[in-house]
Amino acid sequence: MVDEFSLIQSIQPKEKRHKDLMTGIGDDAAVYRTDHHAEQMICMDTMTEGIHFTSATMKAYDIGWKALAANISDIAAMGGFPDYYLVSVAMPSEWSSEMKEMYRGMEDLGSMFQMDLIGGDTTSSRSGLVITITAVGHAEQGKVFLRSGAKPGDLVFVTGYLGESAAGLALLLKDIDINDQKAKHQLIKSHQRPMPQVEAARLLRGIPSRFAVNDISDGLASEANEIAEASGVTININYQSLPVSKSLSQLDAHDQRRFMLSGGEDYQLLITAPEENSEVLRDVFMKHGVLLTKIGVVTRGRPEVYLIDKGTKTLLTKSGYNHFKSNKE
Amino acid sequence: MVDEFSLIQSIQPKEKRHKDLMTGIGDDAAVYRTDHHAEQMICMDTMTEGIHFTSATMKAYDIGWKALAANISDIAAMGGFPDYYLVSVAMPSEWSSEMKEMYRGMEDLGSMFQMDLIGGDTTSSRSGLVITITAVGHAEQGKVFLRSGAKPGDLVFVTGYLGESAAGLALLLKDIDINDQKAKHQLIKSHQRPMPQVEAARLLRGIPSRFAVNDISDGLASEANEIAEASGVTININYQSLPVSKSLSQLDAHDQRRFMLSGGEDYQLLITAPEENSEVLRDVFMKHGVLLTKIGVVTRGRPEVYLIDKGTKTLLTKSGYNHFKSNKE
């Protein structure tokens, strides 16, 4: 099987045919201009039974919610506001009432952002469910946040908490267990009904600053590497600075660490911003009650990510694996 | 399993949240306005292995071509010009080099219309291939062709030939056979590499007239019923007027009939236009070498479709089944 990265490389168009196309493959969403004041953005995300969920981890309602959340998150990561969505479902023959529940999950989340469901397709599936959603959003001209926007000297921030979704999945799969039922419930909810950071994107749009933004769908390590590569910078993350939720703190240290660094589907935003704008950034987020934590700095150097933990600096790969490359650098 | 119609009914949004949304679920593509001069249109179409194709009927290249063709056809049926597309693939583990071939099929068709591939997603599939494409296009303001645009007195036209794709499929499945190898090749090609009628849509846009348009993806009977329902009119199709290609004429009369009435995936356009504009319509299409055939008339009455064949008038259901409802009416 082709890995996704080499596939994307091989299908990446060599040329851009429309002058109005600003960003194609390679960021959270594509961006194209339709008039002089606004930019349209569009993304597509698929969830497959047996890969992204099973009947043990997600109910139909959750599948709908989360599939749409993943798409809204991509729009938010570009600085956009979500407007419309289309849904394609390849449906197993045993599904019936579940379909309505799945659409109800989408509707409940979509209605929070006044989104309209405007189209899609329904086919049969020989085996499991495959749901693909396309979301369309818009941003004011010049307010699009690309992964390539980070520069040396920027600070690195993250919204919300990390690792909760992966911890919730591990609980659902009985890979781990905790006694605190309230924490368990919270972690599972983070996995099944993540909340895309549309509000955080709105706050960022209101701040006159340059930002690089990525949504955390594949884990902090992976997303930080994507910004580092797209921007041609080194990102240094301070492990001790990562925000640990009260629920996640119930887990042992090893599990906390792997979920925070490599756990996906938190749909928080990873943000870099110039240091001179960091104070207003923190003030705005605090004023609106959106958790924002400074977790690192951008430096000149190779497009790599380093994790600094109690004075030890290690290379953090996309998968979240730590290579001991240099100590006390 | 829920049938698609009742599912669409149940998920059909009760309200429209964006004033810029002109057409949501229920036509070939959704239409929304982004500025004062242009309308954006978007559609989504899925092809599933084992349902829409098997390894016996379609090569990877053809799957890519046809999946994109189906989407471009939806844009054309709204009077639009296709601009961008996104591709989501749930891929079986044994696929590898086929992926590139599939994308090459899309690229070869998309490049004909200067389309840009701007995004998508790739996941694993536990069983067969599922490919979903979203296409985005645009039309000048007021130039969108809806299914609801037909009025009594209009004439009914179809572009190109009908039934070739279904005949090609029957040949591939060895349900039928013919001796004429050239005709066989042509019919199979019509099934594997259909050509969406972007040029026909362009010609229609240039004619100052009202049109109702539907693309023939599910067969003439089904699409004619959709226009009849959306417009609240009766459509009368003259069977003897249907254009029969030289290749299809190699089949016996029964097969010709079922493929022309019920065969899907021809991606021709079914058009209604006021009689007073029909002459200029025919002239324009003839001048540009695009086959256009008058096949019926729109009359006042229940939203139904009738087939007139040698003086006998029968009700034509969506599936293409003829009910003998009234003779010599």
pLDDT tens per residue across span A27-61: 888 888 887 677 899 999 999 998 899 999 999 99
| Sequential pLDDT tens for chain B (329 residues) | 445 666 667 777 878 888 888 888 878 888 888 876 778 999 999 999 988 999 999 999 999 999 999 999 999 999 999 999 999 999 888 777 889 999 999 999 999 999 999 999 988 887 789 999 999 999 888 788 999 999 999 999 999 999 999 999 999 999 999 999 999 999 999 999 999 999 999 999 999 999 999 999 999 999 999 999 999 999 999 999 999 999 999 999 999 999 999 999 999 999 999 999 999 999 999 999 999 999 999 999 999 999 999 989 999 999 877 665 443 33
Enumerate the known binding-site residues of B. Answer: 28, 45, 52, 74, 103, 120-121, 147, 215, 217-218, 265, 321
Do B49 and A135 contact (CB within 8 A), yes or no? no
Q: B13 vs A122: CB contact, 8 Å cut-off?
A: no
Residues of chain A with CATH 3.90.650.10: 147-326
Cα separation, B118 vs A11, whole angstroms: 10
In angstroms, the Cα distances linking A107 to A84, A116, A165, B27 are 11, 9, 22, 20
**Residue in B51, B116, B125 nearest the CB of A18:** B116
* Residue A302 CB partners (closer than 8 Å, separation 6+): A234
Do B130 and B53 contact (CB within 8 A), yes or no? no
Residues A107-135: pLDDT tens digits?
999 999 999 999 999 888 877 899 999 99
Shortest distance between the Cα of B226 and any Cα of chain A, in A, equals: 16
Do A165 and A266 contact (CB within 8 A), yes or no? yes
What 3-state DSSP class applies to B118?
strand
Instruction: Name every chain A residue with its beta carbon within 8 A of the beta carbon of B45.
Output: 88, 121
Percent of chain A with pLDDT over 90: 76
**β-strands A155-159, A292-299: how paired?**
antiparallel
Instruction: Name every chain A residue with its beta carbon within 8 A of the beta carbon of B84.
Output: 18, 21, 30, 32, 42
| Neighbouring C-beta atoms of residue A300, cutoff 10 Å | 10
Q: Is A309 annotated as a binding residue?
A: no
Q: Token digits for B177?
A: 């056979």
**Residue in B100, B114, B132 nearest the CB of A132:** B132
Q: Number of helices (H) and strands (E), helices first, in chain B?
A: 9, 14
Q: Which fold has domain A147-326?
A: Phosphoribosyl-aminoimidazole Synthetase; Chain A, domain 2 (3.90.650)
Cα separation, B304 vs B316, whole angstroms: 8
Instruction: Name every chain A residue with its beta carbon within 8 A of the beta carbon of B50.
Output: 126
Instruction: Name every chain B residue with its beta carbon within 8 A of the beta carbon of A40.
Output: 34, 40
**What pLDDT does B185 receive?**
97
- Between B136 and A141, the higher pLDDT residue: B136
**What pLDDT does A1 receive?**
43
Do A13 and A25 contact (CB within 8 A), yes or no? yes
CATH of A4-140, one of 3.30.1330.10, 3.40.50.1580, 3.30.1520.10, 3.40.50.300: 3.30.1330.10
In angstroms, the Cα distances linking B246 to A207, B135, B249 are 66, 33, 5
Q: Is the pLDDT of residue A267 over 60?
A: yes
**Residue in A116, A126, A138 nearest the CB of B50:** A126
Q: A124 vs B51: CB contact, 8 Å cut-off?
A: yes
Do A108 and A195 contact (CB within 8 A), yes or no? no
Closest alpha carbon within chain B to A28? B119
**What pLDDT does A328 receive?**
38
CATH of B17-140, one of 3.30.1370.100, 3.90.226.10, 3.40.50.300, 3.30.1330.10: 3.30.1330.10
Enumerate the known binding-site residues of B for substrate. Answer: 52, 265, 321
**What pLDDT does B323 receive?**
67
Q: Token digits for B308?
A: 């007139």
Q: Token digits for B107?
A: 């690229």
**Residue in B8, B24, B49 nearest the CB of A116:** B24
- Measure the N-to-C terminal CA separation of chain B; round to a whole number of Å: 39
Cα separation, A273 vs A212, whole angstroms: 7
What 3-state DSSP class applies to B74?
helix
Strands, E assignment, chain B = 21-23, 30-33, 38-48, 81-92, 116-125, 130-140, 155-159, 212-215, 234-238, 269-273, 292-299, 305-309, 312-316, 322-323
Cα separation, B85 vs B75, whole angstroms: 11
Enumerate the known binding-site residues of B for Mg(2+). Answer: 28, 45, 74, 121, 215, 218
User: How distant is the alpha carbon of residue A100 from its chain centre?
Assistant: 26
pLDDT band for A10, please (50, 70, 90 cuts): confident
**What pLDDT does A327 receive?**
39
Instruction: Name every chain B residue with its beta carbon within 8 A of the beta carbon of A88.
Output: 44-46, 88, 132
Residue with tokens 């991606």: B267
Dihedral of the alpha carbons of A276, A278, A283, A289, in degrees to the nearest 10: 160
Test the B interface: residue of A116, A133, A215 with most B CBs within 10 Å: A116
Longest dimension (CA), chain A: 59
Shortest distance between the Cα of A308 and any Cα of chain B, in A, equals: 33
Residue with tokens 């200067």: B114
* Residue B175 CB partners (closer than 8 Å, separation 6+): none
**Residue in A8, A120, A128 nearest the CB of B126:** A128
Q: B123 vs A46: CB contact, 8 Å cut-off?
A: yes
Q: A2 vs B48: CB contact, 8 Å cut-off?
A: no
Q: B128 vs A126: CB contact, 8 Å cut-off?
A: yes
Cα separation, B276 vs B299, whole angstroms: 15
Residues of chain B with CATH 3.30.1330.10: 17-140
Length of chain A: 329
Test the A interface: residue of B4, B14, B28, B116 with most A CBs within 10 Å: B116
Phi-psi region for residue B327, left (φ > 0), alpha (ψ -120 to 50) or beta? beta
Cα separation, B240 vs B308, whole angstroms: 8
Residues A192-242: pLDDT tens digits?
999 999 999 999 999 999 999 999 999 999 999 999 999 999 999 999 999
Closest alpha carbon within chain A to B5? A122
**What pLDDT does A32 receive?**
85
**What pLDDT does B198 receive?**
97
- In sequence order, the β-bridge partners of residue B138 are B40, B81
Test the B interface: residue of A4, A6, A7, A11 with most B CBs within 10 Å: A11
Residues of chain A with CATH 3.30.1330.10: 4-140
* Phi, psi (deg, nearest 5) at residue B16: -110, 120
Cα separation, B80 vs A134, whole angstroms: 19
* Residue B271 CB partners (closer than 8 Å, separation 6+): B156, B157, B158, B159, B204, B211, B212, B213, B292
Q: Number of helices (H) and strands (E), helices first, in chain A?
A: 9, 14
The reply to whether CATH 3.40.50.2300 applies to domain B147-323 is no
Q: Is A218 annotated as a binding residue?
A: yes
